[in-house]
Amino acid sequence: MFDLDKWHEIYFALKQNKLRTFFTAFGVFWGIFMLIIMMGAGDGLYNGVNKDMGDMATNSMFMWTRRTTMPYKGFIRGRFFQFNNDDTQALKDNIPEIENIAPRLQGWGGDGTNNVIRGERTGGFTIQGDYPDYNIIDPVNITKGRFLNYNDIKETRKVAVIGIRVFNEMFEPHENPIGEYLRIQGVYFKVIGMFRSKKSDQQADRENQQILIPFSTLQKVYNYGDVVGWYAITSRKDKQVSLVEEKAKALMKQRHSIHPDDDRAIGSFNVENEFRKMINLFSGISGLVWIVGIGTLLAGVIGVSNIMLIVVKERTKEIGIQRAIGASPMNIISQIISESVLLTTFAGYFGLVVGVGLLELVNYFLIKTGAESNMFANPEVDFNKAVTALIILVISGAFAGWIPAKRAISIKPIDALRDEV
């Protein structure tokens, strides 16, 4: 039951020694403040690195061809080979662990030379031949119109999805690009969509200056035959992409007469492995933050416990009188623990609020000044972590008051009344 007199007494006791109460509370405040700041900084680092990946599927891998490094079946080393459309079907038919597969091919031009014309405007952009699945594996934000679909592939349509930078250079700001035409390498393409990259910095710049056309159309327009530049592949949710990577390489080596031990003939990038390394790194950082933060917090709580021991010693005679007139040991314990919990909870909550407020202020200035980067972005604290820290603080406060409380009830009332301190 709520005892107003008890809380009034606790308030009076804390008010009597303002300076001591302040410095005791400051230790707890600083502990949780530093914990919140370090957690926010850790999340800021994670968000910065993760932002650079956009929404790329973490269960994905990319695979491309390189020169062989070992002779095999009469072929000399140093032979160059290329993937083809039949390889795409073979991968689908022979590797059931594959969820999505998107062959990709890049058109020439865009490396400083103008390859796109619209009216009197010209520009040099990267032309990519894509499948619809590519926007599942490494998605972009479609801001107008739509992305490529399988009818575009099947019917070899001359349609294009343009990046925001292409729009800025080839269109007026007020124009709607959908339905307009661009001449790419002498062939007219109808714009059906516009996108903006989800990545940041240089990667975003590269994506935003791309023009995406149907894969089959690029093969025909650029006279590539059935050549495939590289593959983007995702595994099924219950399968590791490393297994898909291993099987895909083995299948391609078999189909193109490459030595089974030639590990350099086919290049690959396993996003899952890199993402796991990143997760492990930031898990370690998070663990270190909690160790340092909890250590700092406990230092403040130990300070509270020491101060409460002094308070108990100063109030020995008062405790003796309370015991003499009938106060139970539990009454004494609850009073001292309540005082300790009140001090730690108030100081801790204040530290939590100031820490979160500072992180929000930093985030505001990062966004306002455009200072967000692929190294640091959106420093924040997970609500569950903040609540966990506060619960730990309350428990620590109770523990900090328990030892002094046990000390208080261990003194006999008659001895307490004789105390002259």
Pair type for strands 60-65 and 210-214: unpaired
Give me Rg for the CA atoms of the chain.
Answer: 34
User: For position 373, what pLDDT does the model report?
Assistant: 57
155-211 tens-digit pLDDT: 999 999 999 999 999 999 999 999 999 999 889 999 999 999 988 777 888 899 999
**Predicted confidence band of residue 140 (pLDDT cuts 50, 70, 90):** very high
User: For position 183, what pLDDT does the model report?
Assistant: 93
Q: Is the entire prediction scored with pTM above 0.75?
A: no
User: For position 295, what pLDDT does the model report?
Assistant: 78
Q: Take residue 184 and report the two structure tokens written for it.
A: 């790419």
**Predicted confidence band of residue 317 (pLDDT cuts 50, 70, 90):** low
User: For position 287, what pLDDT does the model report?
Assistant: 80
Residue 167 Cα distances to 117, 158, 194, angstroms:
12, 18, 8
**Overall average pLDDT of the 366-390 stretch:** 70
- The average confidence (pLDDT) of the chain is 81
Q: Which residue has the higher pLDDT, 397 or 63?
A: 63
pLDDT at 321 over 70: no
pLDDT at 320 over 80: no
User: For position 327, what pLDDT does the model report?
Assistant: 61
User: For position 1, what pLDDT does the model report?
Assistant: 42
User: For position 56, what pLDDT does the model report?
Assistant: 78
Domain chopping of the chain, boundaries: 4-54+276-418, 109-221
Q: How far apart are CA 40 and CA 380, in angstroms?
A: 5
User: For position 302, what pLDDT does the model report?
Assistant: 74
Q: Which residue has the higher pLDDT, 411 or 163?
A: 163
**Number of helical H runs and strand E runs in the chain:** 14, 14
Q: Which residue has the higher pLDDT, 2 or 336?
A: 336
| DSSP result, 173-223 | TT---TT-EEEETTEEEEEEEEEE-SS-HHHHHHHHTEEEEEHHHHHHHTT
**Predicted confidence band of residue 147 (pLDDT cuts 50, 70, 90):** very high
**Overall average pLDDT of the 395-399 stretch:** 74
Residue 25 Cα distances to 302, 345, 359, angstroms:
11, 9, 22
Query: For 132, phi and psi rounded to 5 degrees?
Result: -55, -35
**Predicted confidence band of residue 92 (pLDDT cuts 50, 70, 90):** very high
Q: How far apart are CA 69 and CA 263, in angstroms?
A: 8
User: For position 421, what pLDDT does the model report?
Assistant: 46
Q: Take residue 65 and report the two structure tokens written for it.
A: 């061809």
Among 8-12, 89-93, 207-211, name the one with the lowest average pLDDT: 8-12
Q: In which residue are the tokens 């505001």 written?
A: 364
**Predicted confidence band of residue 370 (pLDDT cuts 50, 70, 90):** low
Residues facing 129 on adjacent strands:
105, 213
Q: Which residue has the higher pLDDT, 144 or 289?
A: 144
Among 103-107, 162-166, 400-404, name the one with the lowest average pLDDT: 400-404
pLDDT at 21 over 80: no
**Overall average pLDDT of the 351-356 stretch:** 84
Q: Which residue has the higher pLDDT, 14 or 292?
A: 292
> What single DSSP character describes residue 75?
B
User: For position 323, what pLDDT does the model report?
Assistant: 59
**Which range has the top average pLDDT, 125-139, 320-334, 350-364, 385-399?**
125-139
**Overall average pLDDT of the 333-346 stretch:** 74
Q: Which residue has the higher pLDDT, 312 or 218?
A: 218
